Amino acid sequence: MKTSHLIACISVLVSAVSGCGFAARSPEMYRDDTKAVLQTKSNDIRACYDGVLKTTPGAAGKVTVKFDVENEQGKIVNVTVDKPNTTAPDPVAECVTKSIAGLGISPPDARLGQATFVWEFSAPAPGVYATPTKS
């Protein structure tokens, strides 16, 4: 699995917050902090994808997800697959959405974030994981 390091879009919506101890990240900081949290689930996403490969050899493609990062607790919510920009089979997309839902950035931000992230999946070439035999 290759996880794309490119973020298609992340925007920060300004909301009225007064007297709160929340951070106010720049869009770049918001993107980087969100990306760092998403990367903590790379092994889980990979394990799920490997499971899909067992039943669907060759399953590959791109998964594009959109979500919000709430401003109260920094939780990733409203995770949806961007179907027109997703080429991987549904089970691969489910691996991503189930793995990232509920994650959170800390500290929370003073503003609601909206993001689009892309993961690219490719099945290993035949023989890549072959175990050498003794001769």
Left if phi > 0, otherwise alpha if psi is -120 to 50, otherwise beta: which for 19? left
What digits encode the pLDDT tens for the residues 102-115?
A: 899 988 888 888 89
| pLDDT at res. 125 | 67
Question: Whole-model pTM above 0.85?
Answer: no
Domain limits of the chain? 2-15+25-121
* pLDDT-derived band at 89, boundaries 50, 70, 90: very high
Check residues 43 and 15 and name the one with the higher pLDDT: 43
Alpha helices in the chain (DSSP H): 27-39, 42-55, 90-100
Query: Quick one: average pLDDT of 2-20?
Result: 43
SS3 23: strand
Q: Measuring CA to CA, how many Å separate 127 from each of 2, 25, 60, 130, 132? A: 19, 46, 17, 5, 10
What does the alpha-carbon distance between residue 66 and residue 57 come to, in Å, rounded to a whole number? Answer: 27
The CATH topology of domain 2-15+25-121 is 3.30.1150
| pLDDT at res. 121 | 94
What lies within 8 Å, CB to CB, of 83 at 6+ separation is: none
